[in-house]
Structure 1
Amino acid sequence: MTTQKMPNTDLAGWLDRSGISRKELARRVKTAAQACGQPHITPDATTVRRWLDGDHPRPPVPEILADVFSACAGYRVTTYDLGFGESAAAERSLDYNSSFATTVEAVADLGRADVDRRKFLAAAPFAAVAAVGPSRDWLLNTLDQQPEPGPRVRLEDVTAVKNMFGEFQRMDVLQGGGSGRLILAKYMNAHVFPLLRRTYTDEVHKALCEAAAEQTYLLGWMAYDSGEHGTAQRYLIQSLRLAEESKNAALGAHVLAGMADQATLLGNPTEGRRLAQTGRAGLGRNTSAACLADLWALEARALAKLGEKTEAARAVTQSEAAYSRVRLADEQEWAAFIDPAYLHGEHANTFRDLGQAQTAEVHARQSIDHARKQRRARRGAMSQAALAVSHLQRRDLESAHAAGIRTLSLSRQVKSSRCVEAVQDLQRRMEPFGNHRLIADFNERARDLMTAA
């Protein structure tokens, strides 16, 4: 018994909305297929009729159709919108594509799926080796892609986008990545990605790609802070490609710092170190002392995980030396969070992993003091957790318990999976102390936070 095909009313609706004929749609699909190296895709008006009747074309035709209709509409249309189900956006967004136009469509697909909370994206895995190609290409390539035709973008449009970045970054720093990510993704889908498809002067093109890279990075960082590492990785790769297009070396190095942080966190410190080193190699002299300080700090974190005590301590020293050269007026807005609260917190974790409890405590307390003054609960929580571990390493349960309670209090103030993970790590480190009353009390108090997470 054969299953009767159902007409594709979604595709028909978009064809009517676009105002183009079946023959013209076939021509545009053929042209787009040739441009992306698929010359064997040669549809005609009859092929389009079969699609409308319910035939499901083989990949990558649905993705090409989505790109064609997106160009007509001026905003992202997905394979899902066209009645063809989910696309391979999760995999396409792992690619560091030499084509700027393809990059725009990949990041737009990703943003649309993120807003719609598609199941395939939530389940997207972190690919351990996916950063190898992007980091290499960012360092070596100089690309000259031309934008798609359309209404011209002005510098005033780019300024409006950059002004919004500061607001979203402050939301992330003060409230955690879980607070504003979907709002930012909706803003990007509605106001930023459509601009990337238009024409502009070279100056505007670079400025727009820089602004888009900043906000795409922030989306990735917010996903990272929410524990969605597969989604985060895909945003970061596309952000790196946009940063290259902007010719902003410091921004690209900043994105690599985020990728290094993620790789080390997920158990691949060798890759984390390599990414941090690549960022430093591409940064250039006197470009961003804050970014350099961050890259050294993250290399130190990776080295500590690898047990390289001398090299890790040297990297911390290099980070501190770089930060001493920071001039805030010369730094870009995305570097605002690279400050003593952040850096001392990272150094505390480095020395914690090296088992140097006293040095870890010194850095943790400095981070906590700065975070308190800035009302940064997330940073304060993670540094309180590092302080608690330093007390555990010296078997001071009273002090560890007190710092642990402060960790819980601060963690409840933000939506951040990293704070939850810091609490879970603290609980694991408390296990060797058995059923001591302070350990039992901490675990009881942590139960509500764990349940909510």
Structure 2
Amino acid sequence: MTPLRQARNDKGWSKSRLAHELERLAQGRHALATRASLLRMISAWESGERDASDPYRSLLCEAYGLEAVELGLSGSVDRVRSDAGLAYQASLNRAASSLDDLTRFDDMGHTAVTRGRYIPDALSAACLDWLFGSSVTDLPNRGGAVTGHDIEEMRTMTSTFDGLDRKFGGDHCRLMAVRYLRDRVLPKIYAVKPARVERDLFSATAILCELVGWMAYDTSRHSLAQRYFVQALRFAEAAGDRAYAAYVLTSMADQALHLRRPDHALRLAQVAREASSRTGVAVAITEACVFEARAFAAQGDEAGCTAALLRAERTFHQIDGGDRPAWSGHWGEALFVSHAGTCWVDLGKTQQARRMFALIRDDTKGQARRRIYGAVQLARVALLEGDVEQSCAFATRALESAAGLASRRSHEHLVRISQQLATHGQQAAVRDFQQRADLLLAG
């Protein structure tokens, strides 16, 4: 939160009350903008999007009884470009600086990064720079040291954030993770460290960036999510972990599918498959093939989907629990079956889809998002088969799992099935479901 926003909160004022105070103080001294313009200016000042110039700067100080520096109006207010964090930086020093900017402006709620548009071309450019560009490790030493204990702390904190995210949704602790990344992790990047610890540090940073990206994605902050995914890609490369870098690309593909960009998701998944195949890490190859199948299915390409699923199945059975990377602990049969089931739903193959989701109906590991997703997919299957009452029953089960979950992504799954059921609104089961859905989704 910016100091200017904090000052208004401390006063307990609304923006309209602040505008009134500024107009009162300016009476007979300054001509101010109209009330509507003034309210827009206040929003821009408080988000850090614009600087307050005189006479507004002096009037703000007078209204709050504080000095300009205390309000962040000392003339050194940070500026940020709307493309902050979107570029894959060859220089690791510049990448760290980009991540610092991104976390800082994310934390203050700067609209330039929190409300930007999702830009598929930016991810394509990042992939090309990752694949064909050069990487330079040129970090300056700013003092301090990093030990194995520091790495263990980072991994533990990331695991904690991940557990909270999976249980309660992306909005539950996202800003805590952002602040930890900025305040605890970024200073370590510039500290003295031996080569082994440095690789572990960059790897842990990449994993945390990717998690924060998922949290942003889960809350529908899609532009913000892609920025953190790009940073995760860069630090995975700095760690020399191309398998994890490929895994980050599949996260980008997942987001593209959710945003109904299967063409873009397919390109990302295919790049991930090519890159992961060269690493020999079975779980990374499996994930890439799975999303390739998902993208083919979303485009109605059954042959492409089937071939990709067969590739995924072959490598899935090669995953060795003892040798698999620590970051892949969530990968198992339930996740594989869920992805395969979604492919069959998208292709309209209801028998195969029902069989897949029936296998994992009770294997959700206490995660509400998984329960919602599986139930929504079964509701889609029932609707494709013409069983509206059964579809409503599954949709109601999904709805009941959403209570207390801070996940915009799950909310959107519920909205979509609700919209599909609305075409059968003459049936009593649909009317009952819609009534319950309206109450929950409005909240």
Where 1:104 maps in the other structure, the secondary structure is helix
Tell me how far apart the structure 1 counterparts of residues 429 and 334 of structure 2 sit (CA, whole Å): 28
Matched, 1:425 2:416: yes
Where 2:406 maps in the other structure, the secondary structure is coil
Matched, 1:409 2:400: yes
Identify the residue that residue 61 of structure 2 maps to in structure 1. Answer: none
Contact between 2:174 and 2:216, CA under 8 Å: does it hold in 1? yes
Within a 5 Å distance, the mapping from 1:140-159 to structure 2 comes to 140-141=132-133, 143-149=135-141, 150-159=143-152
Within a 5 Å distance, the mapping from 1:164-203 to structure 2 comes to 164-203=157-196
Distance 1:442 1:176, change over 3 A: same
What percent identity do the matched residue pairs reach? Answer: 27
Shift of 1:209: 0.8
Give TM-score scaled by structure 2 length: 0.80
Q: Aligned AA for 2:418?
A: Q
Contact between 2:81 and 2:112, CA under 8 Å: does it hold in 1? no
Q: Aligned AA for 1:302?
A: A
Shift of 1:408: 0.4
Q: Any gaps of 5 or more consecutive residues in structure 2? A: 1-50, 54-71
Shift of 1:173: 1.9
Tell me how far apart the structure 2 counterparts of residues 328 and 351 of structure 1 sit (CA, whole Å): 28
Contact between 1:177 and 1:223, CA under 8 Å: does it hold in 2? yes
Identify the residue that residue 278 of structure 1 maps to in structure 2. Answer: 271
Within a 5 Å distance, the mapping from 1:268-417 to structure 2 comes to 268-285=261-278, 287-371=280-364, 374-417=365-408
Identify the residue that residue 260 of structure 1 maps to in structure 2. Answer: 253
Write out per-residue CA displacement over residues 418-440 of structure 1, whole angstroms, 9 at most, x where no aligned residue.
11111111012213323211111
Contact between 1:166 and 1:333, CA under 8 Å: does it hold in 2? no
Identify the residue that residue 220 of structure 1 maps to in structure 2. Answer: 213
Matched, 1:100 2:71: no
Shift of 1:127: 0.7
Contact between 2:139 and 2:190, CA under 8 Å: does it hold in 1? yes
Contact between 1:147 and 1:198, CA under 8 Å: does it hold in 2? no
Matched, 1:243 2:236: yes
148-157 or 94-103: bigger deviation: 148-157
Identify the residue that residue 125 of structure 1 maps to in structure 2. Answer: 117
Identify the residue that residue 110 of structure 1 maps to in structure 2. Answer: 102
Shift of 1:267: 2.3
Distance 1:414 1:327, change over 3 A: farther
Tell me how far apart the structure 1 counterparts of residues 73 and 378 of structure 2 sit (CA, whole Å): 50
Tell me how far apart the structure 1 counterparts of residues 52 and 411 of structure 2 sit (CA, whole Å): 47
Shift of 1:328: 2.2
Where 2:83 maps in the other structure, the secondary structure is helix
Tell me how far apart the structure 1 counterparts of residues 104 and 401 of structure 2 sit (CA, whole Å): 32
Where 2:246 maps in the other structure, the secondary structure is helix
Distance 1:90 1:407, change over 3 A: same
Q: Aligned AA for 1:326?
A: I
Write out per-residue CA displacement over residues 354-390 of structure 1, whole angstroms, 9 at most, x where no aligned residue.
111111111222232211xx11211111111000100
Shift of 1:244: 0.7
Contact between 1:420 and 1:450, CA under 8 Å: does it hold in 2? yes
Tell me how far apart the structure 2 counterparts of residues 391 and 90 of structure 1 sit (CA, whole Å): 44
106-115 or 218-227: bigger deviation: 106-115
Shift of 1:195: 0.8
Identify the residue that residue 434 of structure 1 maps to in structure 2. Answer: 425
Tell me how far apart the structure 2 counterparts of residues 329 and 285 of structure 1 sit (CA, whole Å): 20
Distance 1:412 1:318, change over 3 A: farther
423-432 or 93-102: bigger deviation: 423-432
Q: CA RMSD in A?
A: 2.0
237-246 or 198-207: bigger deviation: 198-207
Shift of 1:286: 6.2
Distance 1:446 1:55, change over 3 A: closer
Tell me how far apart the structure 2 counterparts of residues 83 and 428 of structure 1 sit (CA, whole Å): 50
Aligned residues: 374
Identify the residue that residue 42 of structure 2 maps to in structure 1. Answer: none
Write out per-residue CA displacement over residues 98-157 of structure 1, whole angstroms, 9 at most, x where no aligned residue.
110111011111112222222332211111211112112222345241321122322322
Contact between 1:292 and 1:319, CA under 8 Å: does it hold in 2? yes
Structure 1 residue runs of 4 or more that deviate by more than 6 Å after TM superposition: none
Match of 1:234 among 222, 227, 230: 227
Where 1:186 maps in the other structure, the secondary structure is helix
Contact between 2:389 and 2:430, CA under 8 Å: does it hold in 1? no
